[in-house]
């Protein structure tokens, strides 16, 4: 028996040496596959249990918070109610007729009421700044209107008097020189000034020149926003106009970025995208784009350079 005991002991020592036993029989785990496997299993199981415990605790806290203070913000659905009371400043030659078409279609579909002038398609004829009496005196406005989308010289405080308190306000702008090129052709400004080309007109007429029909001319956006004729070359007044517009309008569309603007409009009004589908309306004729329209004897690109040079900074401020 004794030789067997000694043999078994020697075998145990040999196995211990193979597993990295040193003094005091301290095991070296990296050199002992069996022990390392057991430790790794223990570590992995512990990590799994810890992760599950943390997840359960987090879920419990969320449920408790939901019961006591409603759902967390990131669980709330982004819902809103369609805006049915809308005021739109219809600026000239800024694709505003397309936007007006959207508003009219929506209002007709939902049986809404419109602010309409006594005659024509302007409040104040474009010459006079808007007053609440222009709506109240119209036989078409027997009830408070839901949609204001008619050309006028803007007066925010007066528009507020005829619209519901929860009305939202927006407008649309366009690059100023492109706007004037389109307006010059659309309103026959050159022909009515003696057959002048675009270049000739901007060279001969200062920024505060009398306006065609009393309301059409340079810096049309600033005019539509309510700028008096005597301030059309006043840079300080132009900056103040921009400040007021920024405070009055919750959204300003950009004609050159119409697709993006329509998506923003649908979001702003909480309407469906199908509600803002539209076609081009009153857009510049192709021959004018090529420099072949009324009053054009030079390429359009050259005319644009001239307009940019001769139209003073006031027109640039609003665009910025």
Domain borders along the chain are 2-75, 86-319
pLDDT for 233 equals 86
Look at residues 184, 135, 126 and name the one whose alpha carbon lies nearest to residue 158. Answer: 135
d(CA 316, CA 268): 27
Per-residue pLDDT of the chain (320 residues; tens, 9 = 90+): 444 544 554 454 444 444 444 444 444 444 545 545 454 555 666 777 777 777 777 666 655 554 445 444 444 455 789 999 999 999 999 999 999 999 999 999 999 999 999 999 999 998 999 999 999 988 888 899 999 999 999 999 999 999 999 999 999 999 999 999 999 999 999 999 999 999 999 999 988 788 999 999 999 999 999 999 889 889 999 999 999 999 999 999 999 999 999 999 999 999 999 999 987 765 555 555 555 554 443 344 344 333 333 333 333 343 44
pLDDT for 65 equals 54
Fold of 86-319: Rossmann fold (3.40.50)
């Amino acid at each position: 028996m004794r030789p067997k005991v000694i043999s078994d002991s020697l075998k145990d020592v040999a196995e211990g040496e193979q597993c990295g036993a040193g003094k005091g029989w301290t095991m070296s785990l990296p050199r002992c596959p069996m022990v390392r496997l057991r430790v790794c299993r223990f570590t992995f199981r512990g990590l799994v249990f810890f992760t599950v415990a943390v997840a359960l605790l987090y879920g419990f806290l969320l449920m408790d918070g939901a019961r006591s203070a409603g759902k967390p913000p990131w669980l709330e659905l982004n819902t809103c109610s369609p805006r049915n009371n809308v005021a739109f400043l219809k600026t000239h030659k800024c694709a505003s007729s397309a936007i007006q078409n959207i508003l009219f279609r929506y209002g007709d579909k939902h049986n809404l009421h419109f602010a309409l002038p006594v005659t024509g398609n302007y409040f104040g004829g474009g010459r006079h700044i808007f007053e609440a009496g222009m709506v109240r005196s119209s036989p078409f406005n027997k009830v408070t209107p839901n949609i204001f989308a008619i050309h006028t010289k803007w007066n925010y405080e007066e528009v507020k008097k005829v619209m519901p308190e929860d009305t939202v306000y927006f407008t649309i702008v366009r690059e100023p020189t492109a706007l004037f090129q389109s307006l010059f052709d659309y309103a026959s400004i050159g022909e009515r000034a003696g057959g002048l080309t675009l270049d000739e007109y901007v060279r001969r007429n200062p920024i505060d020149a009398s306006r065609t029909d009393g309301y059409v001319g340079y810096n049309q956006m600033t005019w539509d926003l309510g700028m008096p004729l005597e301030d059309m070359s006043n840079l300080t007044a132009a900056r103040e106009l921009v400040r007021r517009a920024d405070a009055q309008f919750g959204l300003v569309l950009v004609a050159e970025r119409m697709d993006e603007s329509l998506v923003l409009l649908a979001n702003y009004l909480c309407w469906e995208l199908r509600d803002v589908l539209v076609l081009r309306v009153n857009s510049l004729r192709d021959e004018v784009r090529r420099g072949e329209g009324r009053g054009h004897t030079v390429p359009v690109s050259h005319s644009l350079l001239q307009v940019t040079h001769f139209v003073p900074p006031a027109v640039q401020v609003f665009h910025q």
